[in-house]
Structure 1
Amino acid sequence: MAKKITMDDLKKRLQERQYKLTPQRQTVLQIFLGRAGEHLSAEDVHGILRQNQSEIGLATVYRSLELLSDINILQKMDFGDGRSRYELNETDAKEHQHHHLICLKCGTVKEFADDLLEPLELDISEKSQFQIIDHQVKFYGYCQECQKKRED
Structure 2
Amino acid sequence: MNPIMNISQQFAAQQYKLTPQREAIVKVLLDNEKDHLSVEEVYMMVKSTYPHLGLATVYRTLELLCELHIVEKMNFGDGVARYDLRDNDHDHMHHHLICSVCGRLEEIKDDWLLELESRVEREYGFKVTDHRLDFKGTYQTCNRTGCKREKDCKAVS
State the TM-score bracket (shorter-chain normalisation).
0.7 to 0.9
- Indicate how the Cα distance of structure 1 residues 98 and 15 shifts in structure 2: closer, same or farther if over 3 A, else same: same
Higher helix content, 1 or 2: 1
Q: Is the 8 A contact 1:104 1:141 kept in 2?
A: yes
Does residue 28 of structure 1 match 2:21? no
Give 1:9 deviation, angstroms: 2.1
Give 1:17 deviation, angstroms: 1.1
Does residue 130 of structure 1 match 2:126? yes
Give 1:51 deviation, angstroms: 5.2
Give 1:151 deviation, angstroms: 7.8
- Indicate how the Cα distance of structure 1 residues 91 and 53 shifts in structure 2: closer, same or farther if over 3 A, else same: closer
Q: Secondary structure of 1:37's match?
A: coil
- Which residue is equivalent to 1:79? 76
- Indicate how the Cα distance of structure 1 residues 15 and 133 shifts in structure 2: closer, same or farther if over 3 A, else same: closer
AA matched with 2:40: E
Separation in structure 2 between the aligned mates of residue 77 and residue 151 of structure 1, nearest angstrom? 23
Residue identity over aligned pairs, in percent, reads: 39
Q: Which runs of 5+ in 1 are unaligned?
A: none
Q: Secondary structure of 1:127's match?
A: helix
Deviates more, 1:141-150 or 1:50-59: 141-150
Give 1:149 deviation, angstroms: 4.8
Give 1:114 deviation, angstroms: 2.6
Does residue 37 of structure 1 match 2:23? no
Q: Secondary structure of 2:106's match?
A: strand
Deviates more, 1:98-107 or 1:63-72: 98-107
Q: Which runs of 5+ in 2 are unaligned?
A: 149-157
Q: TM-score, normalised by structure 2?
A: 0.77
Give 1:42 deviation, angstroms: 0.3
Separation in structure 1 between the aligned mates of residue 147 and residue 3 of structure 2, nearest angstrom? 43
Q: Deviations over 1:89-122 (max 9, x none)?
A: 2235x72221111122343321102323322332
